[in-house]
Amino acid sequence: DVKVTQSSRYLVKRTGEKVFLECVQDMDHENMFWYRQDPGLGLRLIYFSYDVKMKEKGDIPEGYSVSREKKERFSLILESASTNQTSMYLCASSLYTYEQYFGPGTRLTVT
């Protein structure tokens, strides 16, 4: 079974802090994704990585950056957290264009 894990289920940070969200997958998938999910808006893609050190901006990259130094690990960085980044963050991975496997999500609150 594919397993995608995320570093925290719940996180509370202060405005202006640098925040790291980590995602690890154990199935040697090329593709990894970071989404945020907000009520009424559905899942929106923040960044996508199709290989180590390769990344593409998604629909809402502003205020975020990513890092993929190893194939199994994809990190989302909030350089200076703001209250409008309070959300559920979901990581996913996939093999080429096949189905995506999701992590359990991190509920981030920025106060």
Partner 1 sequence: KNEVEQSPQNLTAQEGEFITINCSYSVGISALHWLQQHPGGGIVSLFMLSSGKKKHGRLIATINIQEKHSSLHITASHPRDSAVYICAVQSFGNEKLTFGTGTRLTIIP
Task: List strands edge to edge, sheet with 64-70.
Answer: 4-6, 19-25, 73-78, 64-70
Instruction: Return the number of the residue (35 or 81) whose C-beta is nearest partner 1.
Output: 35
| Burial degree of 48 (CB within 10 A; 0-12, 13-18, 19+) | buried
| Stretch binding partner 1 (CB under 8 A), from 18-26, 68-76, 79-87, 101-109 | 101-109
Subset of 10-49 contacting partner 1 (CB under 8 A): 31, 33, 40-45, 48
Residue 60 binding partner 1, by CB under 8 A: no
Instruction: Return the number of the residue (21 or 79) whose C-beta is nearest partner 1.
Output: 21
- Taking CB under 8 A as the criterion, the residue among 34, 64, 74, 102 binding partner 1 is 102
Rounded Cα gap, residues 62 and 94, in angstroms? 24
Could you tell me the CA-to-CA distances from 99 to 32, 86, 92 in Å, in that order? 12, 27, 10
- Decide: 79 and 18 in contact? Cβ < 8 Å: yes
Site size toward partner 1 (CB under 8 A) is 26
Residues that bind partner 1 (CB under 8 A): 31, 33, 40-45, 48, 50, 58, 88, 90, 92, 94, 96-105, 107
